[in-house]
Amino acid sequence: MTRQLPKKPELRPVHEEIGDLLSGSEEDRFSCPKAARKKAMDFLARREYGQAELIKKLADKGFVSEIAERAVIKLTEEGLQSDRRFAESFVQSRVNQGKGPVRIRIDLGQRGISEDAIEAALDEVGADWYRLAREIRDKKFGSSRPADFAEKAKQMRFLQYRGFEPDHTQAAVRGGDD
């Protein structure tokens, strides 16, 4: 008499099993406009986002890009998402971190914000870039002015890296009140 071993269950790749769970009568949540809108609003509840950045975040979470784009455009039309509001918030936070206008423009441009919105936000914040550059320089290097050219160049490179324009860095290093 031969003894039969119990039959092993059929093993399938995990992605197929997950696919089975997602398919069926319920709609795929990653192609559902309502789910995309809800997730976008969850993101916006935490902080402001630019339109392009929000679409990318939704796509990164698995939403179909067309669905994500439509959801964000609808939120923009309703005034719940605003590139201008995002830019103003972003500029203020970067000014508080001691960043200059050059760096802020680059960072906002990389986030898909238009030049008009960037310039409006920079104007709105009303920062005194000369004073800010001086304060950042003094915080890093102390209040005494550089003794030699090498130290002056080092301080100017630091301020340039932080995003200040050449006239801001020169005034800060020489101690002018431009």
> Burial level of 141, CB count in 10 A (0-12/13-18/19+)?
middle
82, HSE (Cβ side, Cα atoms, 13 Å): 10
Contact assessment for residue 48 and residue 113, using Cβ atoms and an 8 Å cutoff: no
Q: What is the CATH number of the domain that holds 47?
A: 1.10.10
Domain that holds residue 161: 129-174
Q: Check whether residue 60 and residue 100 sit in a common domain.
A: no
Q: Does residue 108 lie in a domain region?
A: yes
How does pLDDT run along the chain (178 residues), one tens digit per residue? 566 666 655 665 555 555 555 554 334 677 788 999 999 999 999 999 999 999 999 999 989 989 999 999 999 999 999 999 999 999 999 999 999 999 999 999 999 999 999 999 999 999 999 999 999 999 999 989 898 999 999 999 999 999 999 999 999 998 755 4
Query: Which of 13, 45, 77 is where one domain is finished?
Result: 77
Q: Does residue 60 lie in a domain region?
A: yes
pTM to 2 decimals?
0.75
* CA-to-CA dists, residue 27 to 52, 119, 136, 157, angstroms: 26, 43, 54, 55
